Amino acid sequence: MTRPPVPAGSPPAGGVHVSLLGPLTARTGDGRELPLGPRKQRLVLATLLARPNTPVPVDVLTDAVWPDDPPRTARKNLQVYVSAARTLLGPAGEDGRDRVVHGCGGYLLRIGEGELDALRFGALARAGRAAAERGDRPGAARLLRAALDLWAGPPLNDLRDSAVVAEEADRLEARCLTVYEDWAETETELGRAAVAVDGLRDLVDRHPLRERLRAAWMNSLHQCGRQAEALAVYDDYRQLMARELGLEPSPAMAALYRAVLGRGREVRRPPAPEAVRAVALPADTGAFTGRRDELRGLLGALDGGEERVVVLSGPAGSGKSALAVRAAHLLADRFPDGRVQVRIRREDGTGRGVAEVLAELGRLCGVPGTASASAAGPFDDVRADGPAAPAVLAEAWQEWLARHRALILLDDVPDEASVRGLLPRSGSCRVLVTARRPLAGLAPVHRIALADLADGEALELLGKLIGAGRLRADPAAALRIVRACGGLPLAVGVSGMRLAVLRHLPLAEYAARLEDPSAALDELVAGDLSVRRWIASGWRDLADGDRWALGRLAGPGEDRGFTLDRAAAALGCGERAALRAVESLIDAGAVSSPAGEVTAHAALYEVPRLLGLFARERATGAGPGASAAAALIPG
């Protein structure tokens, strides 16, 4: 795995090529290595490059450099380090746009495929897999090998003492290992197993529990006529699994072992894992309405996107779960090993433990490993409260994810810690996370945020519930209703269900009720569905300071938009404290921000109408006094 001085795809002389797949380095187009500055500056550069062309929150950069106790000057120091990165890489990227952009609480570094080895690696890997799908195995092997030639050892191995960088490095290495497995299996299929044997042995020594590597090594030895060594690989693995995890090798690995015992060389690829075809989703009723653009983006990210994890965020009642379930049904043929939904909160709104969720996933997906596959599930003989149980469950789950192509829906996630151990490190599985907040601490992920329904989509939903004829009879009143609902799908749906029962009630009269701030939440009740109760569940998730700030920002009147200057006046604090308070509310999903890049002073923020009404209810006579204001504002 040697790297040429200047890999293919580099910019012409005078440009810069940066490498992450090994030590962090930067070279000019003629191969001259550039100094990257002190360690903290390199940590910032590595974190930005590990998420190329994606906004990286300032908090993530801060944690990468100062994990325990950042200095008061941390943000100013970060600006210096980012400026140094801009100077190093040049003011503009390959497309001529600004190299580094600041906005929405983070920095985005623009860099092209010809400038960053990780991007070039991903492009070659995708091309190789596409060639394999077309049946062009020699072309696939050539492209995958070209990708691997960019891999010069453990990624970012000189900066792994930073937990943030180590997490990014582990992700990059897992991607490299998957490509190596693809390449080794392709070479074996072509009858050229000997070229892969030695490299596979070295990687297995570094990753002894990675089963697909073991299987590829075992099969390549078998194809080279080294049957005794191939059988020894399996026996060593079986003993290691029993000793470290209390598990047995997977059925696919056992099947390969039996094939090697048959002494023939007819096996070219390890047999595919048995498809469990687990399906645990709510029924697809066909009543889904709206969200066409978001659905299209979600399907594209899950089916063809590079990231294994998609985070779908939005406030309570925004329709996250309905959209996620709809996408899961539409992708049935793309995930042959199953589509499973698991809620991460209990009925009382508290988060479930990771071990508890892992046990449920194991039962639903048929994760192999423990002594018996009883009706209750293969994890039942592992005590969830035992000291080794979480590690056993997590390792078995990761092994299952690596060998299957399934879609896992983790629904209503309260925070990052609730799902970190559930996300795939390798393989073809995809995980769709729904959450009320963006979960900025998860990376790398593809993010989709749900905004309010557009008027047309909200009217379509209302018409489906009350009837198109009634909608057409008074379209102006119908529009007033959906706008009074703030475009919140839950509120529009509850209004439709209520009007479907109250057939005598004119739309204009109901619109007037919803437009009355003192009555709107009382009107949004249909049977056991209460919009106020849903909003209250999101309110409980907010920190005390966020609740107080939201109550002040959701002032009287129907003007929900506010600027940073107005926020500072409402909160009675300085500009910097106001900005941190607003950004905290954005992170909590309680305030919306502009979709495009804009400076903080020019931005127009907005509190959703119904959440604002609820916040004013809570703030009236119950909010903390002015003397406590400074203590409650974040930062």
| pTM to 2 decimal places | 0.56
Q: Is 37 a domain residue?
A: yes
Q: Which of 427, 449, 471 is the last residue of a domain?
A: 449
Q: Which of 532, 566, 594 is the last residue of a domain?
A: 532
Check whether residue 428 and residue 557 sit in a common domain: no
Which two structure tokens, joined as six digits, stand for 328?
């899961």
Check whether residue 114 and residue 185 sit in a common domain: yes
pLDDT of residue 332 exceeding 50, the answer is: yes
Helix (H) or strand (E) holding 409: strand 407-413
| Radius of gyration of the chain from its Cα atoms, rounded to whole angstroms | 27
Give the pLDDT confidence score for residue 390 in this predicted structure.
61
Give the pLDDT confidence score for residue 593 in this predicted structure.
82
Domain count, the chain: 4
Of the two residues 153 and 506, the one the predictor is more confident about is 506
pLDDT band at 278 (very low <50, low <70, confident <90, very high): low
Dist CA 611 CA 550 (whole Å)? 9
Q: Torsion-angle region of residue 338: left (phi > 0), alpha (psi -120 to 50) or beta?
A: left
pLDDT band at 330 (very low <50, low <70, confident <90, very high): confident
- The conformation of residue 342, written as its DSSP 8-state character, comes to E
pLDDT of residue 10 exceeding 60, the answer is: no
Sign of dihedral through CA atoms 24, 30, 33, 34?
negative
pLDDT band at 276 (very low <50, low <70, confident <90, very high): very low
Asked if 471 and 479 touch (Cβ cutoff 8 Å), the reply is no
Check whether residue 514 and residue 599 sit in a common domain: no
pLDDT band at 532 (very low <50, low <70, confident <90, very high): very high
Q: Is 231 exposed, middle or buried (0-12, 13-18, 19+ CB in 10 A)?
A: middle
**Which whole number is the average pLDDT over 206-210?**
89
Q: Which of 483, 502, 532 is the last residue of a domain?
A: 532
Check whether residue 477 and residue 441 sit in a common domain: no
Check whether residue 181 and residue 323 sit in a common domain: no
Dist CA 510 CA 440 (whole Å)? 39
pLDDT of residue 118 exceeding 80, the answer is: yes
Structure confidence by residue, pLDDT tens digits, 448-469? 999 889 899 999 999 999 998 9
Which two structure tokens, joined as six digits, stand for 433?
């996370």
The range of the structural domain enclosing residue 144 comes to: 1-190
Dist CA 81 CA 166 (whole Å)? 19
Q: What CATH number is attached to the domain comprising 296?
A: 3.40.50.300
Q: What CATH number is attached to the domain comprising 86?
A: 1.10.10.10
Roughly what angle, to the nearest 10 degrees, separates helices 544-553 and 564-571?
Answer: 110
pLDDT of residue 388 exceeding 70, the answer is: no
pLDDT of residue 2 exceeding 80, the answer is: no
3-state helix, strand, coil in the chain (%, to 5): 50, 10, 40
